[in-house]
Amino acid sequence: MESIIHVEQIKKKFKSETAIKDVSFEVKKGEIFGLLGPSGAGKTTMIKIMTGELTATSGSCKVLGMQQSEFRSARFKSQIGILSDNSALYERITVQDNLKLFCKLYGAPLSAIDEVLGLVNLKGEEKKTISKLSKGMKQRVLLAKALIHKPALLFLDEPTSALDPGNTAHIHKGLQKLNESGTTIFLNTHDMEEADKLCHRVAFLNEGVLREIGEPKELRYKYSSHAFHIETFGGQKLVLDHSPDSAARIAELISNNEVKEMHTDNPTLGEIFLKVTGKELVK
């Protein structure tokens, strides 16, 4: 599949600190790609480089077929959407009036408003003034703003941090729908459940270094001990490996109808992150 983001050997230095250290990866068209890392890992810096807010110190970054020198062009901006901490709304006017202004700014038709409101589950709330909205609703309006011009590529920096589970679920559903309709999504998160649920592939970033990359399912298999965990009706807990002796023991337990529960070792993305980096990926 065609790659929409191509990052090669990117380095970003801030005075005394190197925030990104020779990072390389590709994002394919149509993917939801998650960059996972704890606070300070370099995730926001990486998005800022890919969206033209920051220039890399060295390396090559190609997005939508354009080089870094073109990231400030109208052609580039019209094809990307960004939801970050810097995203802002006009507080004193309504949801609808905000979106009308952004339609004008991005050259999108006004009919786009209804569509994005549906996607972020805000239909019926368009007459409300922004200052009177809850944090979760504001976040959904910000997402609507990022989507109003139907960008081919959407960058989301911690889109659901500080949202309650209900709002998070609404946003997740909207993002999946959007992705199904063809939008590629680059997502920064330290929420492993979010990454597991949404992302086709994830990359682990720690202290500016990319440590692992792959499909969540593949990574779980790669870092699994492949042991069988068995609990018997008698309350016995067993961990058995892949040996002929274990196979015989499992067969015996099954034929004696002693198995209450049996599963293979299935580490979470958080556990894998800890294994790879020695660091907790706290939610």
Binding to ligand ATP by residue 16, rule CB under 6 A?
A: no
Does residue 45 interact with ligand ATP by CB under 6 A? yes
Q: Check binding of 37 to ligand ATP (CB under 6 A).
A: yes
14 binds ligand ATP (CB under 6 A): yes
Is 34 a binder of ligand ATP (CB under 6 A)? no
Please tell me whether residue 230 binds ligand ATP under the rule CB under 6 A. no
41 binds ligand ATP (CB under 6 A): yes
C-beta of 24 vs 55, nearer to ligand ATP: 55
Q: Is 42 in the site for ligand ATP (CB under 6 A)?
A: yes
Q: What CA dihedral angle connects 135, 150, 215 and 39, to 10 degrees? A: -40
Q: Does residue 19 belong to the site contacting ligand ATP (CB under 6 A)?
A: yes
φ and ψ at 135, to 5 degrees?
-60, -40
CB atoms within 10 A of CB 218: 12
Looking at 42-50, 102-110, 246-254, 258-266, which segment touches ligand ATP (CB under 6 A)? 42-50
Which is nearer to ligand ATP, 133 or 198 (by Cβ)? 198
How many residues touch ligand ATP under the rule CB under 6 A: the total is 12
Nearer to ligand ATP, 48 or 150 (CB): 48
Residue 52 in the binding site for ligand ATP (CB under 6 A): no
In whole angstroms, the minimum distance from the beta carbon of 49 to ligand ATP comes to 10
Contact range with ligand ATP by CB under 6 A, out of 32-40, 129-137, 221-229, 270-278: 32-40
Task: Output the 3-class SS for the chain.
Answer: CCEEEEEEEEEEEECCEEEEEEEEEEEECCCEEEEECCCCCCHHHHHHHHCCCCCCCEEEEEECCECHHHCCCHHHHCCEEEECCCCCCCCCCEHHHHHHHHHHHHCCCCHHHHHHHHHCCCCCCCCCEHHHCCHHHHHHHHHHHHHCCCCCEEEEECCCCCCCHHHHHHHHHHHHHHHHCCCEEEEEECCHHHHHHHCCEEEEEECCEEEEEECHHHHHHHCCCCCEEEEECCCCEEEECCCHHHHHHHHHHHHCCCEEEEEECCCCHHHHHHHHHCCCCCC
Residue from 8, 24, 40, 91 binding ligand ATP (CB under 6 A): 40
- Residue 189 touches ligand ATP, criterion: CB under 6 A: no
Identify which range of 35-43, 70-78, 164-172, 263-271 contacts ligand ATP by CB under 6 A: 35-43
Residues binding ligand ATP (CB under 6 A) = 14, 17, 19, 37, 39-45, 190
